[in-house]
Amino acid sequence: MSDPDWYEDATIYSFDVKTFNDSDGDGWGDFRGAIDRLDHLDDLGVDAVWIRPFYPSPLRDNGYDVADYYGVDDRLGTLDDFREFADRAHERGIRVITDLVFNHTSNDHEWFRRAREDPESEYHDYYLWTSHVDDAHQRGNIFPEYEDGVWTYDEIAGKHYFHQFYGHQPDLNVANPAVREELYDVLRFWLDQGADGFRIDAAHPMLMPKGHEATTLDETDLGESIELFKEMRRVVEAEQSDAVLLAEADDEPEHLDYYFGDGEAFHLQFNFVMNAHLTYAVGVKDTWPLQRAEEILPDVSEVGGWVNFLRNHDEWNLLKLPEEAFEHAREYFGDDAGDSWIFERGHRLRLADLYGGDRDRIAVAHSLLFSLPGSVALQSGDEIGMGADLSLPEREAVRTPMQWDDSANGGFSAAAPEDCYNPVVDEGAYAYDRVNVAAQRDDPDSLLSRVEALVAARDACPEIARGDYRALDTDHKETRVHRFDHGAGDGTDEDGTVLLCAHNLADGHRKEVVGFDVDPETVEHVVGDGGHYVAKGGVTFELDACDYAWLRGEKR
Strand partners, 538: 515, 535
Please list the active-site residues.
201, 248
CA distances 484 to 14, 468, 500, Å, are: 27, 5, 7
CA–CA dist 105, 43 (Å, integer): 36
H or E stretch covering 516: strand 510-516
CA–CA dist 333, 440 (Å, integer): 26
Q: Classify domain 11-103+177-212+219-455 at the CATH superfamily level.
A: Glycosidases (3.20.20.80)
User: What's the pLDDT score for residue 122?
Assistant: 96
- The torsion angles phi and psi of 357, rounded to 5 degrees, stand at 75, 10
Which phi-psi region, left, alpha or beta, contains residue 210 (left: φ > 0; alpha: ψ -120 to 50)? beta
CA distances 409 to 148, 291, 388, 422, Å, are: 38, 42, 15, 10
User: What's the pLDDT score for residue 537?
Assistant: 87
CA–CA dist 285, 68 (Å, integer): 46
Strand partners, 533: 540
Angle at 59 between CA 201 and CA 340, to 5 degrees: 75
CA–CA dist 522, 505 (Å, integer): 28
Beta-carbon-side half-sphere exposure of residue 150 (alpha carbons within 13 Å): 24
CA–CA dist 167, 251 (Å, integer): 22
Do the bridges between strand 497-504 and strand 479-486 make them parallel or antiparallel, or are there none, so unpaired? antiparallel
CA–CA dist 483, 481 (Å, integer): 7
User: What's the pLDDT score for residue 536?
Assistant: 85
User: What's the pLDDT score for residue 488?
Assistant: 66
Q: What DSSP designation does 396 have? A: G
pLDDT tens-digit map of 13-39: 999 999 999 999 999 999 999 999 999
If we measure between CA atoms, which residue out of 521, 535, 529, 524 comes closest to residue 502? 529
If we measure between CA atoms, which residue out of 36, 65, 31 comes closest to residue 51? 31
- Every domain of the chain and the residues it spans: 11-103+177-212+219-455, 110-162, 467-555
What are 546-549's contacts with CB under 8 Å, separation 24+?
546/358, 546/360, 546/361, 546/363, 546/364, 546/504, 546/505, 546/506, 546/507, 547/364, 547/503, 547/504, 548/363, 548/364, 548/367, 548/368, 548/501, 548/502, 548/503, 548/504, 549/501, 549/502, 549/525
C-alpha Rg value of the chain to the nearest Å: 24
User: What's the pLDDT score for residue 494?
Assistant: 58
Strand partners, 481: 502
Q: How many helices (H) and strands (E) does the chain have?
A: 15, 22
Burial class (CB in 10 A: 0-12, 13-18, 19+), 533: exposed
Q: Tell me the CATH number for domain 467-555.
A: 2.60.40.1180
Burial class (CB in 10 A: 0-12, 13-18, 19+), 531: middle
User: What's the pLDDT score for residue 278?
Assistant: 98
CA–CA dist 490, 501 (Å, integer): 20
**Per-position pLDDT tens, the chain of length 556:** 556 689 999 999 999 999 999 999 999 999 999 999 999 999 999 999 999 999 999 999 999 999 999 999 999 999 999 999 999 999 999 999 999 999 999 999 999 999 999 999 999 999 999 999 999 999 999 998 889 999 999 999 999 999 999 999 999 999 999 999 999 999 999 999 999 999 999 999 999 999 999 999 988 888 899 999 999 999 999 999 999 999 999 999 999 999 999 999 999 999 999 999 999 999 999 999 999 999 999 999 999 999 999 999 999 999 999 999 999 999 999 998 899 999 999 999 999 999 999 999 999 999 999 999 999 999 999 999 999 999 999 999 999 999 999 999 999 999 999 999 999 999 999 999 999 999 999 999 999 999 999 999 999 999 998 999 999 999 999 999 999 999 865 455 457 999 999 999 999 999 999 999 999 999 999 999 999 999 988 999 999 999 999 999 999 7
**What's the CATH fold of domain 110-162?**
Oligo-1,6-glucosidase; domain 2 (3.90.400)
- Intrachain domains 11-103+177-212+219-455 and 110-162 with the same fold: no
What are 155-160's contacts with CB under 8 Å, separation 24+?
156/116, 156/117, 157/115, 157/116, 157/117, 157/119, 157/129, 158/131, 159/129, 159/130, 159/131, 160/129, 160/130, 160/131, 160/133, 160/136
CA–CA dist 547, 506 (Å, integer): 9
If we measure between CA atoms, which residue out of 395, 321, 385, 389 comes closest to residue 358? 385
- The torsion angles phi and psi of 11, rounded to 5 degrees, stand at -105, 115
Strand partners, 471: 482
The answer to whether residues 541 and 512 touch, using CB atoms and an 8 Å cutoff, is yes
